[in-house]
Structures are given as structure tokens and as C-alpha cells.
Structure 1
Amino acid sequence: MTEELRIAIYAALLGLVQLCLAAWSPLGVAGYLRWNVGPRDTAFDVGPIPGRLRRVFVNFMETYVFFAVIVIALSLVNRSDALSVWGARLYLIARIVYIPCYAFAMSYVRSAVWAVSFFGILATACCLLF
């Protein structure tokens, strides 16, 4: 197994953690449990931090699919090198850092950390393309 695939698995586990954070963080909000077990026909205001944790998970899902496809392709064509490993590590570390940055509304820092994770995807993709 390549290092990039191992990192993709760690990132998938991070996604599961984020899913749990998004699902469990609003449990203390009055009326949420009743809404959650119902048909969910209307939106429910879970509050700032649980709402941010939900959005950070959605954001993760928007980037992870690209990262995973690139890493799998790298493995299939045996193009792993130092840059692809570095890019994969950068992606994972930035995605970990992104969670508290988003949850605690660190606006400019959050955007910079997102850019770092995106750069990690690009660095990994460069090894596939060039």
C-alpha cells in the first residue's frame, strides 16, 4: 500500500469523525432530537457551532472525493514520489487544522488553511499529470 493510500484512509477516518461531530453536536439543542427523528421537512436551527461542524463536514466531502480519486490513480499507475506523499500529508494535516478553524469562526485563518489543503491536492495531482 502506498503512503498516499494510507493517508487517504486516515482522511476517510477523519471524515467519519467529522460526521459524528456534525451529528452529535446539536443533541443538546432543545427540540433537535424530536426534529431529527421526524421527517425533517423543515430546516432546524442547531446554533452556531453545531451548524459550523455540519458545514465543515460538507466542505470535507467536497474535497475528499477529488483527493481520493487522485490518490487511487497514483497507486494504479505507480507514480508515487516525494511530492505526492508531501501533498497528501499536507492535505490531511490541513483538513485536521481546518475543523477548529471553522468551528470557532477563525475566518481568515480558516480560508488560508483551506487553501493549504487545496494546494496539497494540487501537489499530489501534479505527480499524476507530469
Structure 2
Amino acid sequence: MMTAAALELQLLAAAVVVGLVQFLWATLAARGQQGLTYGRGPRDQPIKLTGAAGRLERSYANFLETFPLHAAAVIIAYLAAKLGDLTLWGSVLYVAARALHPILYVIAIPFLRSLVWFIGFCGTLAVVAAIFL
């Protein structure tokens, strides 16, 4: 009989979905700016993305920097049987912040975007802290 996955693992799966949506959004914005001909070619000469497409590209790159660290922390906490309130709320903060980050980046709200990034980072720190408590 299968048991329900820990909420932290479900939130990790939600973070994967956030990443997939962000990847698709950034890719579509890039193709809209660079054109389909560029997208289907070898892309030997990069075309710098500007505006919303550039911000989406940077936000997605930031997601790629933070997600492996968060995922590793959640998996370690799960395997070490360290799940609890700290890991749950840390996971919620990470997923919510990562879902909001590209939106705030696209509409160019710099300080709020940075605050939301920091909240997501604190979520990962909370999961890491739980491993050592």
C-alpha cells in the first residue's frame, strides 16, 4: 500500500512545476524576441535578450542556481527524518517566492523582487537549519 508523500516532497514537486512553467515562459518570450528562425538554428551568434524576455531569462537562471540547493536540502532532511514545522514552512516559503519572483521581475518591481528572492532563500536556509537541529 502506498502512503502519502511528505508535504515537503510534494512542495518540492510543486517547485519543479514552477521551474517548468518558468522555463516555458522564458523560452516563449525569447523566441518572440529572437524569432523562430533563430530558435531552430545553431544559435552560434547569441542575440542578447532585452526587456521582459531578458528579465525572464535572468529569473530562470536564478531559479536554476537556487533549486538544486533547495532540493538537496529537502531530500537530506527527508532522509535524515528531520521533517517538521521548520522544513514545511521553509518549503512553502521557497515555492511561493519562486513562483512570484519571475512575475515581479517581468513587471520590474526591483526592491519587492529582491525581497521575495530573499524570502525564498530564507526558506532554503530554514530547511538546512532543520537538518542540523
Between stretches 31-40 and 87-96, larger displacement belongs to 31-40
Give 4+ residue runs of structure 1 displaced > 4 Å after superposition: none
Match of 1:88 in 2: 91
Write the letter of the residue equivalent to 2:20.
L
Superposed CA RMSD in Å reads 1.2
Return the offset for 1:45. 3.2
Letter of the structure 2 residue corresponding to residue 35 of structure 1: Y
| Count of residues in correspondence between the two structures | 129
State how far apart, in whole Å, the 1-side matches of 2:43 and 2:100 are: 31
Whether the aligned pair in 2 keeps the contact of 1:91 and 1:116 (CA below 8 Å) is yes
TM-score by length of 2: 0.91
Query: What are structure 2's unaligned runs of at least 5 residues?
Result: none
Query: Is 1:15 matched up with 2:10?
Result: no
* Other-structure match for 1:102: 105
- Whether 2:40 is the aligned partner of 1:61: answer no
Of 39, 42, 47, which aligns to 1:36?
39
Distance (Å, rounded) in 2 between the aligned partners of 1:26 and 1:41: 16
Tell me by how many angstroms 1:20 deviates.
0.3
**Is residue 2:9 matched to residue 1:5?**
yes
- In structure 1, stretches of 5+ residues that fail to align are none
The letter of the residue matching 1:122 is: L
Q: Which of 107, 125, 130 is the aligned partner of 2:128?
A: 125
Q: CA deviation at 1:101?
A: 0.9
Could you tell me how far 1:113 is from its partner in structure 2?
A: 0.7
Structure 1 position 25, deviation (Å) = 1.6
Q: Distance in 2 between matches of 1:42 and 1:104?
A: 28
Q: CA deviation at 1:28?
A: 3.0
Matched residue SS, 2:59: helix
